[in-house]
Structure 1
Amino acid sequence: MSEDGGAQETRGVSVELLGTVDLGPEIDGLEGRQLRMRRVTMEPGAVFGPRHDHRGRPGIVIVLEGMITDHRDGVTTDYGPGLGWPEDRHTLHWLENRGSVTAVEISVDIVSAD
């Protein structure tokens, strides 16, 4: 796979929405935004791509099972259970499961309510 993930499309990934909270009534200035929690399951050989950014939708991820490889800024980092990473406005990355077992992560982010 190319390091920049330019040609890589998402495959072997399933996403389950676990819940959302409308942030407008909770925090002044966050009208039209929501806090979202998802479970992302990546089968062996899965790719979550192509390379994408997180401008306007900051979040944080924790790996529950398996190993997920994060590719960003020319650096490849493996994350196993209990580890995770932030996704902020400077994040430009793509993910893959290079392991032989299914990987599961929980992703929590702030997104447009649209």
Structure 2
Amino acid sequence: MARLLQVTRPAAIALLATTGFAALPATARAGECPADRVVADSNRAVETQPRGVTDDVLASVDLAKEPAAVQNRLLRLRRLVVQPGGVVPWHSHGMRPAIIYIVEGEITEYASTCAVPIDHRAGEATVERNPTQHWWRNNGSRPAVLLSADFFPVADDPHMM
């Protein structure tokens, strides 16, 4: 008769950390470009105009007035609602890092740094940084709601996607 071995959670974690994890294949996290599909200049500016999207600034902080004293930059939080078929047009994150959180729905990203479209679902967050240039489209049947926090150059258009 086989004996059942009981392993405590800490022991199981230690066992996986020292033996099992190394054998697991590397996979992309949800909402990221698969490692084997990361390439420079893979997608171009297909959609250059917003369509079916609202962009509301919820709050911003003038970083020049904070202890960090970062001149000409805002820390900005926006809510974007992208209707089915809607588009967030081609834009760059060369000088504007951001974090996007998908609150509701699904949306597809077409990035200059990935050879395949990247699907993002509710509950996921994604980082946008240099050299990312991209556009997004809601290919689903219901609105996608996104929160965008970015390090925004004050001189730029305040509703730049």
Relative CO higher for 1 or 2, CA cutoff 8 Å, sep ≥ 6? 1
- Aligned equivalent of 2:98: 59
CA shift at 1:81, angstroms? 0.7
Please state which structure has a larger fraction of its residues in helix: 2
Consecutive unaligned residues in structure 1, runs of 5 or more: none
Identity rate, percent? 35
CA shift at 1:11, angstroms? 0.2
Are positions 1:99 and 2:124 aligned together? no
Consecutive unaligned residues in structure 2, runs of 5 or more: 1-42, 156-161
Are positions 1:10 and 2:50 aligned together? yes
Please state which structure has a larger fraction of its residues in strand: 1
- Aligned equivalent of 1:84: 125
CA shift at 1:98, angstroms? 0.1
Q: How many residues align?
A: 111
Q: Check whether the contact 1:4–1:74 (CA below 8 A) recurs between aligned residues.
A: no
Q: Residues 15-36 of structure 1, C-alpha deviation per residue, up to 9 Å, x if partnerless?
A: 1110000111224451111100
Paired letter, 1:45: G
| Greater gyration radius | 2
**TM-score if structure 2 supplies the norm length?**
0.64
- Aligned equivalent of 1:68: 107
- Report the RMSD for the aligned CA atoms in angstroms: 1.5
Tell me, in whole angstroms, the C-alpha distance in 1 between the residues paired with 2:92 and 2:115. Answer: 15
Secondary structure at the residue paired with 1:75?
coil
Paired letter, 1:53: S
**TM-score if structure 1 supplies the norm length?**
0.89
Paired letter, 2:54: S
Are positions 1:33 and 2:66 aligned together? no
> Stretches of 4+ moved more than 4 A in 1?
none
